[in-house]
């Protein structure tokens, strides 16, 4: 069935079928979009679906032509942060999290900043074209690596990258999109692509360098963006589709997405397609509301994690050794070279556990130990090896 994605059309093209006249921020009643099309609403086929209409917008609609029918149906939930009465990040964290959780969030950010040369940057309204091109390349490189790690095949976000590469640059200049980036030195390690519609932000895609997984950069990114939203008087920040535990923890508002299914009343095929599509979505929503989809996803997630755990029984083992221990027959290596991509995540895990700084460590190949490496910080040492490091140390 032919379809149009409401979100994609509004945020990236500022275009909707003429049936939709305007959008209001449901929580502030501010006008955020007016449809300039004046022509009569016509279907491109005998049946047509408009997907993902978020209820955080109050949608003003035209009167449907008599020959067109419409079914509306609620689909999956969405999540947002409503910044009304939110004065600061600490206030919001106090509202959403307990003392222990707040401590862990602060600790993760502190560790990240302690171990690396961290810089935060929001690109909104201005960005140099070479920097934009570099960020886009890194964004999709990291997204591809993350997709491979998660076992996602045919990631739609990778398949549609040509559109975003071509359009996001001007959208950033026009303040209709933004990149929020966490840098380690000159290298982006966490990149979030947002779309903006006046005082509403849609956090579309976030990806990160999986070598830094231990540091949970996504939570630091989110805290920093919340601070930015508060400082810049943003009213809502919403998140991409999917019901995840972290969204329920972080967001203070749950909303619904709607589908609207249009059909030509005089067309038997159009009616049948629209009705069958509606019934299919109604069944899916019933199953979702009974919690069966969530249980299935939880089962699949646990099964996948178990398989990954079994299939990735440590290829590289960490053996912490006393700092005074000397190991001879070693050769210095540049662990940032692509030759050692396989090793870098383990080195950063060592930094996390030992509170060492990347700028203060040295890494060596142990020449008489097969596939073994020595990492030396200011106060700690570890050996990374493909086999157990057997020694009397």
pLDDT > 70 in the chain, percent: 92
Q: Which residue has the tokens 């602060």?
A: 106
Average pLDDT, the chain: 90
Q: How far apart are CA 107 and CA 193, in angstroms?
A: 25
Contact 32, 57 (CB under 8 A): yes
Residue ranges covered by each domain of the chain? 2-79+254-292, 98-232, 317-385
Q: Is the dihedral of CA 112, 114, 117, 120 positive or negative?
A: positive
Q: Is the pLDDT of residue 289 over 90?
A: no
Average pLDDT over residues 299-315: 53
Q: How far apart are CA 339 and CA 345, in angstroms?
A: 13
**Tens of pLDDT along 318-354?**
999 999 999 989 999 999 999 999 999 999 999 999 9
> Residue 361 to residues 40, 44, 116, 332, 376: CA-CA distances in angstroms?
67, 62, 11, 11, 5
CATH architecture classification, 98-232: 3-Layer(aba) Sandwich (3.40)
What pLDDT is stored for residue 393 in this prediction? 47
**Tens of pLDDT along 363-373?**
999 998 888 99
Confidence of residue 234 (pLDDT cuts 50, 70, 90): very high
* More confident position, 297 or 155: 155
At 292, list the tokens. 């069966």
What pLDDT is stored for residue 388 in this prediction? 47
Kindly give, in sequence order, each residue whose CB lies less than 8 Å from that of residue 365, ignoring residues fewer than 6 positions away. Answer: 330, 331, 333, 372, 373, 374
**Tens of pLDDT along 55-91?**
999 999 999 999 999 999 998 899 999 999 999 999 9
What pLDDT is stored for residue 305 in this prediction? 52
* More confident position, 101 or 308: 101
If one counts every other C-beta atom within 10 angstroms of the C-beta of residue 109, the result is 19
Kindly give, in sequence order, each residue whose CB lies less than 8 Å from that of residue 283, ignoring residues fewer than 6 positions away. Answer: none
């Amino acid at each position: 069935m032919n379809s149009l994605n409401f979100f994609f059309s509004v945020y990236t093209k500022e275009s909707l079928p003429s049936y939709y006249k305007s959008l209001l921020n449901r929580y502030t009643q501010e006008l955020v979009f007016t449809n300039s099309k004046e022509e009569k609403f016509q279907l491109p086929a005998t049946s047509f679906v408009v997907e993902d209409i978020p209820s955080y917008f109050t949608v003003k609609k035209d009167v449907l032509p008599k020959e067109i029918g419409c079914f509306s149906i609620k689909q999956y939930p969405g999540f947002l942060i409503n910044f009304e009465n939110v004065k600061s990040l600490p206030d919001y964290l106090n509202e959403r999290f307990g003392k222990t959780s707040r401590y862990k969030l602060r600790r993760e950010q502190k560790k990240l900043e302690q171990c690396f040369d961290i810089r935060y940057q929001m690109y909104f309204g201005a960005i140099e074209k070479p920097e934009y091109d570099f960020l886009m390349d890194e964004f999709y490189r990291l997204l591809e690596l993350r997709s491979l790690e998660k076992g996602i095949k045919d990631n739609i976000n990778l398949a549609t990258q040509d559109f975003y590469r071509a359009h996001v640059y001007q959208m950033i200049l026009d303040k209709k999109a933004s990149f929020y980036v966490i840098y380690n030195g000159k290298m982006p390690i966490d990149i979030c692509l947002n779309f903006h519609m006046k005082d509403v932000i849609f956090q579309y895609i976030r990806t990160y360098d999986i070598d830094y997984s231990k540091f949970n950069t996504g939570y630091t990114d989110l805290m920093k963006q919340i601070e930015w939203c508060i400082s810049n008087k943003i009213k809502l920040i919403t998140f991409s589709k999917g019901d995840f535990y972290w969204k329920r923890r972080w967001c203070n508002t749950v909303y619904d997405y709607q589908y609207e299914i249009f059909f030509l009343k005089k067309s038997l095929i159009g009616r049948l397609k629209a009705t069958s599509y509606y019934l299919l979505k109604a069944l899916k929503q019933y199953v979702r509301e009974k919690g069966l989809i969530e249980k299935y996803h939880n089962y699949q997630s646990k099964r996948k994690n178990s398989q990954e755990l079994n299939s990735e029984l440590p290829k590289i083992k960490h053996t912490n050794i006393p700092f005074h221990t000397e190991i001879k027959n070693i050769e210095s290596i540049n662990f940032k070279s692509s030759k050692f991509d396989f090793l870098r995540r383990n080195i950063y895990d060592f930094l996390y556990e030992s509170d060492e700084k990347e700028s203060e460590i040295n890494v060596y190949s142990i020449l008489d130990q097969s596939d073994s490496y020595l990492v030396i910080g200011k106060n700690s040492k570890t050996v990374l090896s493909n086999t157990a490091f057997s020694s009397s140390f």
